[in-house]
């Protein structure tokens, strides 16, 4: 039985070979490989790393600092030199001496500063990226707790 070269298997005798089936199988193989590679890359890309949370914490703290610092500064000026102050907030003196604003400023400042210090130390090569997330958070919260306890709870 003579087989035509287009329909014969290149290595075997007597086996029929379909070019479209071979190309289709090869494309399926390539498609599966690319799909699995993309899935692994997507999983790596969208995992929640500690660095992502540190980055988000620093960005949110920057937004809150961007709002709270001008309020604190302007309320102090308005209290001291009689600048116009919105009546919806109450008096400038009450806003300026509001302990909730002071505590929020302290908290967001410490979070922003400690995660910024972490980034600097990673860039310099002093620490590894994956190790100091919790240490910086504990240090910031420890200093925050100590300050709140000494100033507001203990009354010093």
**Residue-level pLDDT at 156:** 61
Q: What is the mean pLDDT of each run of 10 residues along the chain (156 residues)?
A: 52 52 55 60 62 89 94 79 70 78 95 94 85 90 94 78
Find tokens 């709140």 and name the residue: 148
**Residue-level pLDDT at 25:** 58
Within 13 Å of residue 131, how many CA atoms lie on the same side as its CB? 6
Are 112 and 65 a contacting pair, CB within 8 Å? yes
**Residue-level pLDDT at 79:** 73
Q: How many Cβ atoms sit within 10 Å of the Cβ of residue 29? A: 10
**Residue-level pLDDT at 76:** 77
Q: What is the DSSP letter of 15?
A: -
């Amino acid at each position: 039985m003579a087989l035509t070269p287009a329909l014969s298997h290149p290595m075997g005798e007597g086996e029929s070979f379909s070019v479209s089936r071979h190309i289709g199988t090869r494309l399926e193989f390539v498609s599966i490989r690319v799909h699995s590679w993309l899935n692994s890359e997507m999983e790596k890309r969208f995992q929640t790393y500690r660095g992502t949370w540190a980055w988000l914490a620093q960005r949110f703290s920057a937004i809150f600092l961007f709002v709270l610092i001008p309020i604190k500064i302007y309320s102090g000026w308005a209290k001291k030199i009689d600048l116009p102050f919105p009546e919806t907030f109450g008096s400038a003196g009450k806003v300026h001496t509001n302990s909730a604003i002071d505590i929020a400023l302290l908290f967001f400042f410490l979070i922003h500063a400690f995660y910024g210090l972490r980034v600097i130390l990673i860039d310099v090569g002093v620490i590894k990226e994956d190790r100091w997330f919790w240490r910086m958070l504990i240090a910031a919260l420890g200093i925050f707790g100590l300050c709140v306890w000494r100033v507001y709870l203990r009354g010093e």
